[in-house]
Structures are given as structure tokens and as C-alpha cells.
């Protein structure tokens, strides 16, 4: 198999939503054996701690105060920039993942859910080290400046919304605590259940790289599960060795599971109990009408209806991205 091998100093970013099989992909890529600088949480999640601040805000939207989340985002961004500087100094590869919802600009999330943010002062993108300016164009709906985003080669991992969002709903009902915060209503917030932020960031990168570039890359979870040769092709594109991929592994020990953060135990429960890629997790051809009846039985009439609406609303963005996915 002949693939283009990018220069080793490139930064590769796996951009995801929760429940898109990203933990499985990271395990298959076997980053520990690829010369990649170790990241804090299972391959990335530098902005994971900021999610706690978001939960606190949205649980009490009427008591809106941006100070906590701005502080948390800056701390997370500092850790990421320290990581990048360390990787450059030590000559290590950079391949990390992040949930896009952790990066979103809080004012745009609020606008999506409730309307215009109260007050006259809207957050601006956080300054990035090494840049004289920190600007943000319309398609960049993150808290990070255009200048910093353009230093990355991004991959967008997507999954059929019927599987992704129903799984997210179940994890929300599990009452996960994130650094002392929980979802008050035990269900996802609307900013977590939309793909509009994913599509916007994809379009930002598509405009930046241009029509003749293979970037940004899109991977569909079904393809990752079904086609090992696709993952091997992808590994070459992001400077990883296809020979070091692993499609089977030992089940995570009970001792290691017990050491995990409470949220990680829930979010990683499937991969922790697995011994390899599970082709039973493929979405295949899904009839949303049929699934919606199951959701109403599982989550109640109100919850099932809400989930159905989220899935149907997300489908156009999913299909848009899927039509641009990497293929064998």
C-alpha cells in the first residue's frame, strides 16, 4: 500500500463527538507504540475539565456567569500549548483527540439553546502563544483563534446520529459526575446533540485547505469498524505506522478500571470490556421510525420524542460529512 507520509512535525487532531467510537479508534492506532507524546486522558481531552464548568452554567442558565468557564478554558488551553511545546522540544509526534463540544465558544452554545447571550460583552477567542493576533472567522465557532486552528491537520470522526445520540442519552442517565458536576435533568444538553458545530468546523478547515487538499479527513465509525485496510490507509496519512496497529487486545483489568475517573468508567465501559473491534457495533441501515419507538419505550414519551427530533435534525449534517469521508 502506497501512502503519502507527512513530515513528522505535523500536528494531527482527531475531532469527535461523544459516542463516536473514538476510544476504539485510538486503541487500534496503538499510540503508545507510535512515538506519539502521551496525552492526559486516553489520547487527548485536554479540555475535558472545562466540561464541568459548562454543566454548572447550563444547569442554572438563569444565573449566567462566564468567569468559571473562561478560567477553565484558559487553563486547558495552557496545558495543551505546554504539551505541544514539549512534543516539539523532545521530537515526539503529535496525535491527540478532542470532543468538539469541549472547544465550542460558550456564547454560541448558549445562543443555540436559549437565544442571545445576556449582557453586552461576548467572549473573544483566547490568545494563542506565538501569534501577534487572535482572530476568529464566522465558521470558527470554537473558543480558539483561527491562527491556532490552522496549525493542525484535522480528522473528523463521525457516527450515525441514531447510535451516537441514543448512546449519549444513556450515559447522561447514568448520572455521570464530571469534576463535581452533573447534568441536572439526566439528559444531554442541546449543544451536545447537534452536529452544526461539527459541520461548521469542518467547513472552516475545508475553506482553509482548499479543494485540492485531502484535508480535512472524515472517518465514519462504521468504516473504521468494518474495514481494517481503511484504518491502515488512514494511519499512513497521519504519520503512524500501519504495522503497529492492533485490532485485538487484552480486556482491561478490574484493577485498572478501578483507578479510572468515575466518568471514564462509564464512557469507556464498552472498550474496557472488549478484546477487539466489535463489528456488532456497526450502524448499518437504520430506520429512524423503528428506532424512535424503541426510544420512547426506553426513555419515556418525552425523552424518546426529544431524542428522535435531535437525530432527525442531525441527519443532514451527518450525511453531508459522510459524503466526504475517506474510503478504501
Residue 175 has pLDDT above 80, yes or no: no
- Own/partner long-range contacts of 50-58 (Cβ < 8 Å, ≥24 apart): 50/76, 50/102, 51/101, 51/102, 51/178, 51/179, 51/181, 52/178, 52/179, 52/180, 52/181, 53/181, 54/106, 54/109, 54/189, 55/178, 55/181, 55/182, 55/183, 56/181, 57/106, 58/113, 58/189, 58/191
Residue 177 has pLDDT above 70, yes or no: no
- Decide which of 20 and 63 is more confident: 20
pLDDT of residue 263: 58
pLDDT of residue 272: 60
pLDDT of residue 77: 95
Lowest mean pLDDT among 150-154, 260-264, 291-295: 260-264
Q: What's the rounded Cα separation, in Å, for the pair 98 and 140?
A: 16
Q: What's the rounded Cα separation, in Å, for the pair 315 and 158?
A: 11
- Decide which of 43 and 33 is more confident: 33
Instruction: Report the 10 Å Cβ neighbour count for 90.
Output: 8
- Decide which of 83 and 249 is more confident: 83
pLDDT category, 276, cuts 50, 70, 90? confident
Q: What's the rounded Cα separation, in Å, for the pair 274 and 65?
A: 41
pLDDT of residue 311: 97
- Decide which of 183 and 151 is more confident: 151
Residue 3 has pLDDT above 50, yes or no: no
Question: Quick one: fold of 11-322?
Answer: Rossmann fold (3.40.50)
pTM summary value: 0.90
| pLDDT, mean over the chain | 86
Section 81-97 average pLDDT: 94
How many CA atoms, within 13 angstroms, populate the side-chain half-sphere of residue 124? Answer: 7
Residue 153 has pLDDT above 50, yes or no: yes
How far from each other are the two terminal CA atoms of the chain, in whole angstroms? 11
Residue 76 has pLDDT above 50, yes or no: yes
Query: 228-272, pLDDT tens digit by residue?
Result: 999 999 999 999 999 999 987 777 666 765 665 555 555 565 666
Amino acid at each position: 500500500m502506497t501512502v503519502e507520509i507527512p513530515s513528522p512535525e505535523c500536528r494531527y487532531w482527531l475531532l469527535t463527538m461523544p459516542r463516536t467510537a473514538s476510544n476504539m479508534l485510538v486503541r487500534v492506532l496503538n499510540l503508545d507504540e507510535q512515538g506519539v507524546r502521551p496525552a492526559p486522558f486516553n489520547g487527548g481531552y485536554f479540555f475535558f475539565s472545562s466540561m464541568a464548568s459548562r454543566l454548572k452554567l447550563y444547569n442554572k442558565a438563569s444565573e449566567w456567569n462566564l468567569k468559571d468557564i473562561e478560567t477553565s478554558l484558559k487553563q486547558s488551553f495552557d496545558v495543551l500549548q505546554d504539551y505541544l511545546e514539549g512534543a516539539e522540544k523532545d521530537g515526539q509526534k503529535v496525535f491527540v483527540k478532542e470532543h468538539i463540544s469541549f472547544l465550542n465558544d460558550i456564547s454560541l452554545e448558549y445562543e443555540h439553546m436559549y437565544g442571545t447571550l445576556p449582557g453586552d460583552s461576548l467572549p473573544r477567542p483566547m490568545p494563542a502563544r506565538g501569534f501577534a493576533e487572535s482572530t476568529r472567522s464566522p465558521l470558527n465557532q470554537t473558543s480558539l483563534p483561527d491562527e491556532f486552528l490552522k496549525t493542525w491537520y484535522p480528522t473528523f470522526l463521525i457516527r450515525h446520529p441514531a447510535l451516537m445520540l441514543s448512546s449519549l442519552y444513556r450515559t447522561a442517565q447514568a448520572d455521570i459526575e464530571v469534576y463535581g458536576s452533573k447534568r441536572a435533568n439526566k439528559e444531554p444538553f442541546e449543544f451536545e446533540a447537534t452536529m452544526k458545530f461539527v459541520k461548521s468546523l469542518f467547513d472552516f478547515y475545508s475553506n482553509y485547505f482548499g479543494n485540492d487538499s485531502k484535508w480535512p479527513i472524515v472517518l465514519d465509525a462504521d468504516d473504521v469498524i468494518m474495514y481494517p485496510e481503511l484504518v491502515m490507509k488512514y494511519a499512513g496519512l497521519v504519520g503512524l505506522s500501519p504495522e503497529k496497529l492492533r485490532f485485538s487486545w487484552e480486556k482491561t483489568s478490574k484493577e485498572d478500571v478501578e483507578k479510572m475517573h468515575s466518568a471514564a468508567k462509564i464512557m469507556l465501559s464498552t472498550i474496557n470490556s472488549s478484546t477487539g473491534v466489535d463489528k456488532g457495533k456497526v450502524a448499518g441501515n437504520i430506520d429512524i421510525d423503528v428506532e424512535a419507538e424503541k426510544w420512547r419505550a426506553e426513555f419515556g414519551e418525552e425523552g424518546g420524542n426529544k431524542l428522535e427530533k435531535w437525530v432527525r435534525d442531525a441527519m443532514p449534517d451527518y450525511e453531508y460529512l459522510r459524503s466526504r469521508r475517506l474510503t478504501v
